[in-house]
Amino acid sequence: MAISTKRRQASFSASDDFSPSPSPPPSSSRPTKKDNRANTASSSSSKFSHVFRPSSSSGNAAPAALPARSHTPSYHRPLLLDQPESIQSLLDWFISVSTNRSMPWRAPYIDPASYSSPASLREARKVRAYQVWISEIMLQQTRVETVKSYWLAWMNKWPTIEALASAAEDDVLAAWRGLGYYSRATRIHTAAKKVVADPDMDGLLPETPTELEKNVPGVGPYTAGAISSIVFGKAVPILDGNVARVLSRQLGLYASPKAKVTTDLLWAAAGVLVKKAYEVGGEKGTVPGEWNQALMELGSTVCTPLKPRCGDCPIRSSCRAYQEAEADSVKGKRKKEDVAIVDIEDLCSFCEPFPFEEEAAQDTITSKDVEAEKQKRVKKLRQATLSFGFQAAKSQSKPPDQDTATLDKHICKFPMKLEKKKIRQEECLVCIVTTPAGEYLLEQRPSTGLLASMWQFPSLTLCTTAAGPAATGEQGVQQMFPSTPMPELVDSFVAALLCTTSIKAKEERVKVASITHIFSHLHLTMHVYKVVLEEACNDADLDGVKRGGKKAKTDAEGDKNKNFGSKLGDIAPRRWANADEVEAETMGTGMRNCWLALQTQQQQQPSVGKAKTAARSKKK
């Protein structure tokens, strides 16, 4: 899909399919990025003119009646377009709550009228655009609360884009440590160097989405729209998971999030709405950024995936999903004469069949649960009621919590959910190879792909499964070493790492732990072993790398190995590092957990040894 990366996971479910994972960094083997998405909103607006065209019936159309939910395409025309007071309400609401979550990257709009010279305005925009850019990239796949401290530390270390461009790659990765998805840091660093070196940009990010996507590596439609609207006041849309959810409910759009037409329609709706908000706001430069941030904030805090706070929503009156939920049709009481008849040729082709009949059993369960809770409250109040000699009156209306549950149940069906794809699984062997002198063997990952260029303990893939339905059962498992015992495999792997035919361990190899780490696309289990070498192995040839040296990149990096671990005999840059150097190294979270497990085991060993000695002394 063309919608930007998943963001602010605290505010929406992991199953939200509206935002794809970040695209891989550009390489020489890939074609130049096309600008076919640069004008997504404007091109889509004309494509959906029949949807957004004002008509006498679209704004006043009754909520679509269940279970058929028949409606025309014009049903999805945003009601906000005819409710300027609701648009203003959302803008006012955002101003009132914008500081509640204390996001340090939020700052007042830079008004050109407040600057005396073009040079001073340019300098202010340069810094502001850089700040917004870094915050938006950090917020992809990461919670807001986590990003706050990282963003502040980043800005303290590199307050300008020029400072970032001149930073060492290892320092950038180290500053990103703990945020995950390290390719984001690599792309930011690459883009900063390009923006600073380019004579036209000269350190200032471009103003329009078209130029941002074309000239800044790693910037997609969402990030481009955010920078353009927030920093430069352009009336351009944004669309992330939160905004997509808000718009799906506002439009009553129950369509496949994987369908291109769904993406195009949401982008188009976001585009016409930001332009309308700009008009309602008096065409002030501050409005587009505030409007886009208001939609994000609404989706993050009010229009949430599972427990929407519709009572606090400033644009509830224009919400198709809420209108449908509130209508008698949702409660099964809608009269036949109230249901609009739609010609089959005029039916909406965007929406999928609505899941209504098959969930009747679930509705019954929910109703029983609510009734049971009601009875508990009645029991608690019974004694107090009897003490006054009165009998409690019987209520003929449904309790408010049952009404709320019914409303929420319908609203939370938007946007349409897809069945979660079973993610790929992998098991690998992680060997922490060390010498009596306390040095540890590290190897560098390939320059592209998962955890690109990061250092880790050598890892060997043991078995994998494919993603999707085929990944179930033993038939979907690929065993790399089906008949090799683990001790023998550990020895063979370490021997291959050291370019020798065999190794002699000073002591028996030790199983440290089995650690599970879950990526967005991979469920990884690491079987961690510690192997202590003889002193004579310290200067072993590590595929051409001596102690402390670094090997030039090899052809093996071009191997499109999708697995986390390597294959037996793979060539990679390797080096020895002491414990302090390992501690300071930028590793992935899973590999860092392997290191922590080893430290925990080593701390426990002295106490175990003392206990055994005491036991032997007691026997004597």
Q: Is 21 exposed, middle or buried (0-12, 13-18, 19+ CB in 10 A)?
A: middle
State how beta strands 459-465 and 424-434 pair.
Answer: antiparallel
SS3 of 513, please?
strand
In which residue are the tokens 């390489």 written? 27
| Closest by CA position to 577, among listed 454, 443, 445, 418 | 443
User: 195 near 161, Cβ under 8 Å?
Assistant: yes
User: 217 near 26, Cβ under 8 Å?
Assistant: yes
User: 116 near 151, Cβ under 8 Å?
Assistant: no
Please list the active-site residues. Answer: 136
In which residue are the tokens 């080096």 written? 575
In order of 65, 320, 348, 414, the CA distances from 249 in angstroms are 16, 6, 16, 6
Residue count of the chain, please give it.
620
Q: What gap in Å lies between CA 472 and CA 474, rounded to an integer?
A: 7
SS3 of 529, please?
strand
Q: What gap in Å lies between CA 76 and CA 242, rounded to an integer?
A: 18
User: 314 near 124, Cβ under 8 Å?
Assistant: no
| Closest by CA position to 604, among listed 492, 471, 512 | 512
How far is the first Cα of the chain from the last one, in angstroms, to the nearest whole number? 73
Return the structure tokens found at 392: 């409690």
Asked, as a colleague might, if the bond just before 415 is cis with ω within 30 of 0, I would say: yes
Q: With left for phi above 0 and alpha for psi between -120 and 50, is residue 380 left, alpha or beta? A: alpha
User: 6 near 143, Cβ under 8 Å?
Assistant: no
Q: What gap in Å lies between CA 563 and CA 84, rounded to an integer?
A: 53
Report the half-sphere exposure of 52 (CA within 13 A, side-chain side): 20
Task: Give alpha helix (H) positions in 158-203.
Answer: 161-165, 169-176, 183-197
SS3 of 12, please?
coil
In order of 356, 389, 403, 414, the CA distances from 361 in angstroms are 10, 40, 17, 20
Q: What gap in Å lies between CA 169 and CA 173, rounded to an integer?
A: 6
Q: What gap in Å lies between CA 136 and CA 223, rounded to an integer?
A: 6
Taken in order 466, 472, 474, 475, the sign of the CA dihedral is negative
Return the structure tokens found at 442: 């590290």
User: 19 near 240, Cβ under 8 Å?
Assistant: yes
| Closest by CA position to 586, among listed 168, 156, 161, 157 | 168
Residues forming beta bridges with residue 459, ordered by sequence position: 430
- Residue-by-residue DSSP string for 276-296: HHHHHTTS-THHHHHHHHHHH
| Closest by CA position to 37, among listed 198, 236, 313 | 236
